C-alpha cells in the first residue's frame, strides 16, 4: 500500500513537471511562462518530496525534507513574483 501511494505522488509530481515544461515552450509571454513555471514547478517538487517522505518513513531525513517543502512553498512564488515585477517595471 505504501508503495502505491509513493508511486501516485511521484507520477503526479512528474505530471506537473511535464505540464510546466510544456507551458514554458508553448506560451509566448514572459508573464504566462513565469506563471506556468512557478505553479507547476512548486507543485511537482512538493509532490515528489512528499513521495520521498512517505517512502522514507518518520525520521530525521523526513524532517529535513519537510523543511525543504516549506522553503519551496515560500521561495518559488516569491522569486517568480519578483522576476515578473522586474519585467513589468522594465517594460514601463
Q: Please say if the pLDDT value at position 92 is more than 90.
A: no
Report pTM: 0.88
pLDDT one-digit tens code per residue, 26-68: 999 999 999 988 999 999 999 999 999 999 999 999 999 999 9
Q: How confident is the model at residue 76 (pLDDT cuts 50, 70, 90)?
A: very high
C-alpha cell at 75: 521561495
Phi, psi dihedral angles at 42 (to 5 degrees): -65, -50
HSE toward the beta carbon, residue 60, CA cutoff 13 A: 0
- The number of C-alpha atoms within 13 Å of 41 and in the hemisphere containing its C-beta is 16
Q: How many domains does the chain have?
A: 1
Domain range enclosing 63: 2-91
Residues 6+ apart with CB under 8 A from 40: 16, 17, 19, 20, 21, 23
The three cell numbers locating residue 49: 518530496
Q: Is the pLDDT of residue 19 over 90?
A: yes
Amino acid at each position: 500500500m505504501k508503495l502505491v501511494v509513493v508511486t501516485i505522488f511521484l507520477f503526479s509530481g512528474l505530471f506537473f513537471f511535464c505540464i510546466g515544461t510544456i507551458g514554458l515552450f508553448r506560451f509566448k509571454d514572459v508573464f504566462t511562462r513565469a506563471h506556468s513555471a512557478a505553479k507547476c514547478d512548486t507543485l511537482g517538487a512538493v509532490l515528489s518530496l512528499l513521495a520521498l517522505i512517505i517512502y522514507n518513513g518518520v525520521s530525521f531525513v523526513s524532517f529535513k525534507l519537510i523543511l525543504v517543502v516549506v522553503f519551496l512553498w515560500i521561495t518559488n512564488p516569491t522569486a517568480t513574483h519578483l522576476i515578473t515585477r522586474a519585467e513589468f517595471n522594465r517594460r514601463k
